[in-house]
């Protein structure tokens, strides 16, 4: 069993949803992002999605884009992602990397998988790589025993839900809405319906993300999903902070709130 | 027959192409593919498109031989395919009319587009007005400034123009923003992608809508000269006008296909848009596996060109295939060389080309010298220079009053040689 599935199974035993938190490596700088991912773990986040900044993040809204751009301006490198992954692993949570495909492809798919595995990472989320194009990654993730976390969307047909979940391992990322990352005022009806449709075709755990930002929303989603993914809201605490210490304190406070939400809403 | 074997794997040209997109878009891409495949064999659709080409765009576009210009091309004969005479001023309308008709067929009410030089945005705004569709156009902030005239044109046509402030604030970032919009509004909206790149089926579909350029030109040259051209020159931003004119010649092995890229300040300066140089390697950008200007971490490197339409760090995947298979050649043309060709065509023939197209003309000057007086060169004049008058006037220091002083000062600071285009 890989770390991600262990964590998800444990949360299930505890009758709650797992909390998945996203932060990009390199923002405000590499050291600061390592401190931030540790803070997430200490505040009750079960799985950390370590974002690898990319110049053309076409599925990200303004908050994550701002952080990624600043990380790149600060000179973040692909290899820095493994530093953050190791920190999450050592802090006792599961780490997955979330990134667009080109940096992985350019680094070398097998080399990336080997380094991710060596750093204690569990797997990779690929927002712009669907299973149809993922043969090389499927083989590399098999070789290195890594989870392949593909996304399903409200527009996915039943046939595609079946194909995508069939190719996935660890969990399935259920995109709660049609759109890009960013906080929304409500989670919307699409998420619950999509979870139901996806459950009908797979036994894999389902984690819901995109637009979830508050304790109440986490609790709501925890009512029907195995995990709840929060990104932009966490990143925003760091983007908006007047200084790094305040940012870290705000991050901890929000993560604790969200973790409480994941317990309130458990199935 | 290269053209028959390129798409054996879904949407691939050899290794290039594919569909690297968020899952949320896959359904829309499949829907689009289904509709366009049906449409391309539906006499009603083809008839409607042909009628628009004839009565709205003004097709077939003519060919024009330019003997006075050709005197600077080693004596080779030079023939222009006049896409600049199309309604809206460039080849872009060919593709847009096809895509807006498809939008209607799919029952969608809104189109979005990205634009660099503004020509594709103008064409899309035009097609939207014609068919009563809502229209939003994304344009990098830098490009809204250097192509202000086209911003005004789009707004007059009823489109919303959204300046993009991310990244390099040019075409690449406009594409990102268009994709973001599309992911969010895909139910109501079709993304009229403006060139032969992006996820399958865009590269193939856009090429097929532009094939008419080469289909017409090949026949026109045969009729007028009784032979095929020795070389076909076209500028390559994403590569749509080039694919459009090349494709009908791919199976004519004696016809050289030459794509000219934005060489900017020279490939050694690092400030260029030459994707087929040592600095670019295959990778994924905007949904396709193709050549990309990227750093050693796979991050996209910003491109530079005097021409907004060529200022793009990636290129259509079929071009990547044609280049790696050796069927087509690609070469960079510097800003200086392009502007020299621009001025030359204007003064010798009374035609103001788009600065993009001026790159193709500079390519013709080079290949003409290789071919000599026996040579016959066909050039895709992809657009006219109206939108570029301001840029060109500044470049040549032709503005009055304060501006001329400014331009002169700039010239004094960084002298630009008169004979920049002489290197063969
Ligand atoms: C006149 C003209 N030619 C060429 C281009 C470059 O596009 P492509 O490479 O797709 O032909 C543009 C783009 O805006 C253009 O306006």
Beta strand B16-17 with B12-13: parallel, antiparallel or unpaired?
antiparallel
Angle formed at CA A58 by CA A54 and CA A63, multiple of 5 degrees = 75
- Report whether B67 contacts B82 (CB < 8 A): no
Residue nearest to atom 16 of ligand 1 (CA): B119
- Report whether B57 contacts B94 (CB < 8 A): yes
Cβ atoms < 10 Å from Cβ of B337: 24
Closest CA to B209 of B228, B193, B187: B193
Three-class secondary structure assignment of A105-159: HHHCHHHHHHHHHHCCCCEEECCCCCHHHCHHHHHHHHHCCCEEECEECCCCCHH
Residue nearest to atom 14 of ligand 1 (CA): B309
d(C-alpha A75, C-alpha B399), whole Å: 42
Give the pLDDT of residue B408.
58
Of B175, B186, B300, the CB nearest to A55: B300
Greatest Cα pair distance in chain A: 48
Give the pLDDT of residue B31.
96
Mutate to test the interface with A, among B15, B23, B106 (most CBs of A within 10 A): B23
Average pLDDT over residues B43-64: 98
DSSP state of A224: T
Say if B222 is an interface residue toward chain A (CB within 8 Å).
no
Give the pLDDT of residue B418.
37
- Report whether B111 contacts B133 (CB < 8 A): yes
Distance in Å, CA B120 to ligand 1 centroid: 8
- Report whether B276 contacts B288 (CB < 8 A): no
Q: What is the mean pLDDT of chain B?
A: 93
Q: Which residues pair with A94 in a beta bridge?
A: A47
Average pLDDT over residues B340-357: 98
Q: In what order do the strands lie in the sheet with B12-13?
A: B12-13, B16-17, B288-293, B280-285
- Which 3 state secondary structure label does DSSP give B339? helix
- Which 3 state secondary structure label does DSSP give B252? coil
The finding on whether B379 has its CB within 6 A of some atom of ligand 1 is no
Of A59, A65, A69, the CB nearest to B22: A59
The finding on whether B119 has its CB within 6 A of some atom of ligand 1 is yes
Helices B92-105 and B202-225, packing angle to 10 deg = 130
Give the pLDDT of residue A188.
77
CA B89 to ligand 1: nearest atom: 1
E-strand ranges in chain A read: 18-24, 47-51, 94-98, 123-125, 147-149, 151-152, 172-175, 206-209, 227-230
pLDDT digits (tens, 9 = 90+) for A55-106: 999 999 999 999 999 999 999 999 999 999 999 999 999 999 999 999 999 9
Burial label, A32 (beta-carbon count in 10 A; 0-12, 13-18, 19+): middle
Contacts A102 to B, Cβ<8 Å: 283-285, 292, 294, 298, 300
d(C-alpha B358, C-alpha B200), whole Å: 30
Number of domains present in the structure of chain A:
1
Distance in Å, CA B357 to ligand 1 centroid: 8
Give the pLDDT of residue B422.
32
Contacts B183 to A, Cβ<8 Å: 58-59, 178-180
d(C-alpha B178, C-alpha A60), whole Å: 12
Give the pLDDT of residue A267.
64
Show the domain range for A220: 3-265
pTM for the full predicted model: 0.94
Angle formed at CA B244 by CA B360 and CA B384, multiple of 5 degrees = 45
Distance in Å, CA A17 to ligand 1 centroid: 51
pLDDT digits (tens, 9 = 90+) for B3-37: 444 445 678 999 999 999 999 999 999 999 999 99
Cβ atoms < 10 Å from Cβ of B185: 17
Residue nearest to atom 10 of ligand 1 (CA): B240
Give the pLDDT of residue A246.
97
CA B120 to ligand 1: nearest atom: 14
The finding on whether B117 has its CB within 6 A of some atom of ligand 1 is yes
Contacts B283 to A, Cβ<8 Å: 102, 105-106
pLDDT digits (tens, 9 = 90+) for B370-398: 999 999 999 999 999 999 999 999 999 99
Burial label, B311 (beta-carbon count in 10 A; 0-12, 13-18, 19+): buried
Lowest mean pLDDT among A3-7, B198-202, B315-319: A3-7
DSSP state of B186: T
Give the pLDDT of residue B168.
84
Q: What percent of chain B has a predicted confidence (pLDDT) above 90?
A: 88
Distance in Å, CA A221 to ligand 1 centroid: 47
Residue A173 tokens, joined: 């990322």
Give the pLDDT of residue B254.
98
Contacts A127 to B, Cβ<8 Å: 22
Say if A73 is an interface residue toward chain B (CB within 8 Å).
no
pLDDT digits (tens, 9 = 90+) for B115-155: 999 999 999 999 999 999 999 999 999 999 989 999 999 99
The residues of B carrying an active-site annotation are 92, 114, 382
Residue B281 tokens, joined: 């390697």
Q: How confident is the model at residue B414 (pLDDT cuts 50, 70, 90)?
A: low
Residue B403 tokens, joined: 């501006």
CATH number for position A209: 3.20.20.70
pLDDT digits (tens, 9 = 90+) for A216-242: 999 999 999 999 999 999 999 999 999
Give the pLDDT of residue B1.
38
Residue B413 tokens, joined: 């600071």
Say if A158 is an interface residue toward chain B (CB within 8 Å).
no
Helices A109-118 and A80-91, packing angle to 10 deg = 30
Cβ atoms < 10 Å from Cβ of A92: 12
d(C-alpha A94, C-alpha A2), whole Å: 9
- Report whether B162 contacts B112 (CB < 8 A): no
Average pLDDT over residues A4-17: 96
Give the pLDDT of residue B376.
98
Three-class secondary structure assignment of B223-244: HHHCCCCCEEEEECCCCHHHHH
The answer, yes or no, to whether the previous bond of A160 is cis (omega within 30 of 0) is no
Please enumerate in sequence order all residues whose Cβ is within 8 A of that of B34, keeping only pairs 6 or more positions apart, or say none.
none
Closest CA to B323 of B246, B217, B421: B246
Give the pLDDT of residue B6.
46
pLDDT digits (tens, 9 = 90+) for A133-178: 999 999 999 999 999 999 999 999 999 999 999 999 999 999 988 8
């Amino acid at each position: 069993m890989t770390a991600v599935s262990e964590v998800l199974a444990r949360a299930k035993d505890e009758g709650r949803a797992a909390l998945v938190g996203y932060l990009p490596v390199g923002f405000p700088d590499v050291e600061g992002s390592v401190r931030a991912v540790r803070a997430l773990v200490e505040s009750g986040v079960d799985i950390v999605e370590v974002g690898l900044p990319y110049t053309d993040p076409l599925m990200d809204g303004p908050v994550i884009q701002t952080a990624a751009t600043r990380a790149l301006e600060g000179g973040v490198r692909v290899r820095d992602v493994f530093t953050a992954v190791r920190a999450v692993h050592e802090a006792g949570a599961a780490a997955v990397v979330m990134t667009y495909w080109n940096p992985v492809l350019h680094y070398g798919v097998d080399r990336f998988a080997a380094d991710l595995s060596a750093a204690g990472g569990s797997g990779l989320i690929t927002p712009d790589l669907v299973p149809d194009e993922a043969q090389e990654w499927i083989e590399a993730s098999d070789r290195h025993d890594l989870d392949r976390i593909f996304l399903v969307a409200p527009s996915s047909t039943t046939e595609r839900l079946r194909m995508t979940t069939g190719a996935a391992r660890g969990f399935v990322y259920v995109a709660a809405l049609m759109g890009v990352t960013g906080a929304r005022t409500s989670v919307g009806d699409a998420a619950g319906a999509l979870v139901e449709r996806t459950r009908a075709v797979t036994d894999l755990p389902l984690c819901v993300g995109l637009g979830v930002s508050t304790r109440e929303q986490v609790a709501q989603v925890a009512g029907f999903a195995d995990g709840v993914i929060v990104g932009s809201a966490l990143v925003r605490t760091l983007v908006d902070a007047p200084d790094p210490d305040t940012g870290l304190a705000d991050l901890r406070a929000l993560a604790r709130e969200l973790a409480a939400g994941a317990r309130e809403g458990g199935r | 027959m290269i053209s028959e074997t390129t798409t054996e794997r879904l949407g691939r040209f050899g290794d290039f192409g594919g569909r690297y997109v968020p899952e949320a878009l896959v359904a829309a891409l499949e829907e689009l593919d289904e509709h366009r495949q049906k449409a391309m064999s539906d006499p009603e659709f083809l008839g409607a498109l042909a009628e628009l080409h004839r009565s709205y765009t003004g097709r077939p576009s003519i060919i024009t031989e330019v003997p006075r210009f050709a005197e600077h091309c080693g004596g080779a004969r030079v023939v222009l395919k006049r896409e600049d005479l199309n309604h809206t001023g460039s080849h872009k309308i060919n593709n847009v009319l096809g895509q807006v008709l498809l939008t209607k067929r799919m029952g969608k009410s809104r189109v979005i587009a990205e634009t660099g030089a503004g020509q594709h945005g103008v064409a899309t705004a035009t097609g939207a007005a014609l068919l009563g569709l809502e229209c939003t156009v994304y344009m990098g902030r830098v490009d809204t400034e250097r192509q202000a005239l086209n911003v005004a044109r789009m707004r007059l046509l009823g489109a919303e123009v959204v300046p993009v402030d991310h990244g390099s604030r040019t075409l690449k970032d406009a594409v990102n923003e268009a994709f973001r919009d599309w992911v969010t509004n895909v139910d109501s909206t079709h993304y009229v992608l403006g060139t032969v790149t992006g996820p399958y089926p865009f590269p193939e579909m856009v090429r097929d809508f532009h094939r008419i350029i080469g289909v017409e030109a090949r026949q026109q040259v045969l009729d007028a000269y009784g032979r095929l051209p020795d070389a076909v020159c076209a500028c390559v931003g994403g590569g749509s006008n080039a694919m459009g004119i090349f494709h009908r010649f791919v199976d004519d092995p004696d016809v050289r296909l030459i794509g000219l890229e934005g060489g900017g300040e020279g490939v050694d300066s690092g400030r260029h848009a030459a994707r087929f140089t040592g600095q670019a390697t295959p990778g994924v950008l905007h949904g396709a596996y193709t050549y990309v200007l990227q750093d050693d971490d796979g991050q996209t490197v910003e491109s530079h060109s005097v021409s907004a339409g060529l200022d793009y760090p990636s290129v259509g995947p079929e071009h990547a295939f044609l280049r790696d298979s050796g069927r087509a050649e690609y070469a960079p043309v510097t800003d200086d060389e392009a502007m020299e060709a621009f001025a030359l065509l204007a003064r010798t023939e009374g035609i103001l080309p788009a600065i993009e197209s001026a790159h193709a003309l500079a390519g013709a000057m080079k290949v003409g010298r290789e071919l000599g007086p026996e040579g016959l060169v066909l050039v895709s004049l992809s657009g006219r220079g109206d939108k570029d008058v301001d840029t060109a006037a500044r470049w040549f220091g032709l503005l009055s009053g304060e501006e001329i002083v400014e331009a002169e000062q700039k010239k004094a600071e960084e002298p630009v040689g008169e004979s920049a285009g002489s290197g063969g």
